[in-house]
Amino acid sequence: MAERKVSKFTPKAMHKSVFIAGTFDGIHKGHESLLRRAFREGKAVTIGLTPDAFIQKFKSASRGAGSGSARQLAKYAQRKQALEQWLLEQGKRATVIPIQDAHEPAASMPDIDAIVVSSDTAFRAGEINELRRKRGLKELSILEVPMVEAEDKKPISSTRMQNGEIDRNGRLIMPDSMRDELAQPLGIVLSGSRIAEVLRSRISLRETIISVGDVATETLVKHGVIPSLAIIDQKVGRRPYDSLKRLPGKLLESRMSVVSGPGYIAKDAIIAIKQWAKNPKTTLLVVDGEEDLLALPAIAYVPLGNVVFYGQPQEGLVQVIVTKEKKQEVLALLAHFT
């Protein structure tokens, strides 16, 4: 056991001093992966933080004129404060310094022996080593860290966070521009006696039924319909709601949980819906977060002919019969999340 402990926590090649550089604007999982590698490999860590002038000079040119990306970045003082707060929370100590350009001061520092870079900036480390060779300095060990992917398999980046595509953990976020579009019902809105009438017909047709929402699920159950897949978050109007005590044992016995929302659709929730579609047995999916957006993957990924019910605030129960055309419509909406 003792030997295993040493092997786990003591790297074979511990570097005396490791350098890492970046903008660190809104510290995300990609940043954390780089920083943790630096602390794992080095006894001392120096973090080069890009000043505002550096960003204006280099970042704007690389992203294209008029993009406005550089102007959206937080100021140096704010980014440094956030970085130091992260270090404090992680119990890590590092020297944070401003960097002069894409190569300095790493190309001139005699007391560092390794540099941490992401896959897309590894070429820069090669350029730094070339300058060090010309200056008679020892080349740096290049510690390359793979890019961390968001849920859509694209790299996590500060730019994508600023654009509202993803959060710091790489989860896909609903664009603000979609809110009005998603507020419109995706199917027929049922209310009053029409709900009971339609649900009776669905029972007689023996269709596979999916419900999204606590009130929608409870409404179906009250009318004698037990959904094959029920998705709830134990909230109504974002207030806690104990829906579990209102549901039949057949659903409660098949309970599973995922984290999703608000404002994003988690990959695990999509996987759970797709897995159910392959083997559609009675399942209660309890969401830690918010289930509202999960009507989209429910329609997109369940078999044709299934019927999805979800609540429309202040209006009633929405019925969506899953057709090829409806799937295409919903998949187009989901594409905005990626």
Q: What Cα–Cα distance (Å) separates residue 212 from each residue in 47, 119, 204, 240, 247? A: 47, 41, 21, 16, 14
Which residues are registered as beta bridge partners of 318?
Answer: 189, 310
- Domain definitions of the chain by residue range: 2-168, 179-335
Structural tokens at position 158? 């500060």
* 224-267 pLDDT tens trace: 999 999 999 999 987 899 999 999 999 999 999 999 888 888 88
In CATH, which of 3.10.105.10, 3.65.10.10, 3.40.190.10, 3.40.50.620 is domain 2-168?
A: 3.40.50.620
Whether 266 and 258 have beta carbons less than 8 Å apart is answered as yes
What pLDDT is recorded for position 154?
A: 83
* 24-71 pLDDT tens trace: 998 999 999 999 999 999 999 999 999 988 777 765 544 443 333 444
Structural tokens at position 238? 């974002």
Whether 69 and 162 have beta carbons less than 8 Å apart is answered as yes
Q: What is the DSSP string of 192-232?
A: THHHHHHHHHHHHHT--EEEESHHHHHHHHHTT---SEEEE
Instruction: Report d(CA 72, CA 57) in Å as an integer.
Output: 14
